[in-house]
Structure formats: C-alpha cells, structure tokens
Amino acid sequence: MWCVQAIQPQNDQGGPEHPGSNWSYGEWLEAKARNGATWVTENPEYILIGAASGAVVVAPGLIATPLLNTAGFTSAGVKAGSLAAGIQSGIGNVVAGSWFATAQSAAMGGYGGPILTGIVQMAGCSMSGAYTGWAWICKDRSGKDMGEQSGQGMGEPGDKGALN
C-alpha cells in the first residue's frame, strides 16, 4: 500500500489533489485512464509511429533481411542482375570491411549482421525521436491537460461527463 500512497497526489487535507473535490484514488485513476484513452483515440499516429519504432528496435531483422534481399545481397552471394551486382561491378575489387562487404556479410549471417542490426535499431529510435520532437514543437502550448484539449475535463465525482 505504501507504493500507492507514494504516487497518489495529495492536497493539504490528505485527499486527492483536485481543488474543491473529494475524489477517491480509484476515481482519480479512472479519470486519468479515460483521459489517456481519449487521447489515444484522437491521436492514432503517435501509437502507430511508436509501435512501428518499437517493432524495428525489437526485431530489426524484419526490416534488414528484406531490404538486403531486395538490393541483391543474399545468403548465397550477390544476386546476378541486382542493384548489388551493379554496384559491385562499379567497385571492382571489394575491400574487406567496406560497406559493401559488411552488407554481404550481414546477408550471409556473418560479422555484418550485428552491425546492420544496430543501424536498423538506431533508425527505429531516430524515427520515434524525430516524430516525438516534431509533435512537441507543433503541440498546443496552452498548457491544457490532455482531457481538456479534447474538450473533456475530469469533471467531478458522479458527473456523467468525462468519466462515462
């Protein structure tokens, strides 16, 4: 119970921090959950970007392997007639440790795999961070609570407004 008391906002009277109200912790928590649910339904792009970024970070092979195969880097070597074959013909002798050798190594399950995995994960984090930063720059600067931005304040206990 000490952990619930530690996170529950309190006012001078010891009740939940809502001026002029006497909310129970359950009502306060329910109001916050409903405001959060309202925000999620009104802002699905945040959820989609977060889910896509999370998937890229957790399972980078879902992105890296198809990209390598599409470019022509396969587990059997460079695919004839592919983009990778065209690049290799322009390079000539491929130097060990070059980006081309690393990409081919990743496709073959060698030392390039963890390198490419890290690059894809970094891209996923960057995508999420860039979108979050852009959203923060463009957000409503009025200082309103999420529920207030959507026109749904928390109301009072027993109100049928935001709680229902």
pLDDT above 90 for 153: no
pLDDT per position as a tens digit, 4-28 = 444 455 554 444 555 556 667 888 8
**Which stretches of 60-111 are DSSP H helices?**
61-71, 83-91, 99-107
pLDDT per position as a tens digit, 117-148 = 999 999 988 988 888 888 778 776 555 444 44
Q: What angle do CA 140, 134, 43 make, to 5 degrees?
A: 60
User: Is 132 within a domain?
Assistant: yes
Which own/partner pairs from 148-156 qualify as long-range (CB within 8 Å, at least 24 positions apart)? 149/39, 150/35, 150/38, 150/39, 150/42, 152/34, 152/35, 152/38, 154/18, 154/31, 154/35, 155/31, 156/21
Q: Full-prediction pTM beyond 0.85?
A: no
Q: Which of 129, 117, 118 minimizes the C-alpha distance to 50?
A: 129
Tokens of residue 9, six digits: 């906002």
Kindly report the backbone phi and psi dihedral angles of residue 21, in degrees, each rounded to the nearest multiple of 5, phi listed first: -130, 170
Residue 3's pLDDT band (boundaries 50, 70, 90)? very low
How many domains in the chain? 1
Residue 109 belongs to domain spanning: 44-136
Please give the residue that has the higher pLDDT: either 67 or 138.
67
User: Is 61 within a domain?
Assistant: yes
User: Is 144 within a domain?
Assistant: no
pLDDT, average across residues 47-69: 89
User: Is 10 within a domain?
Assistant: no
Q: At what angle do helices 61-71 and 99-107 cross, to 10 degrees?
A: 110
| Mean residue pLDDT across the chain | 77
User: Is 37 within a domain?
Assistant: no
Beta bridge partners of 16: 10
pLDDT above 80 for 30: yes
Give the pLDDT score at 137: 80
User: Is 154 within a domain?
Assistant: no
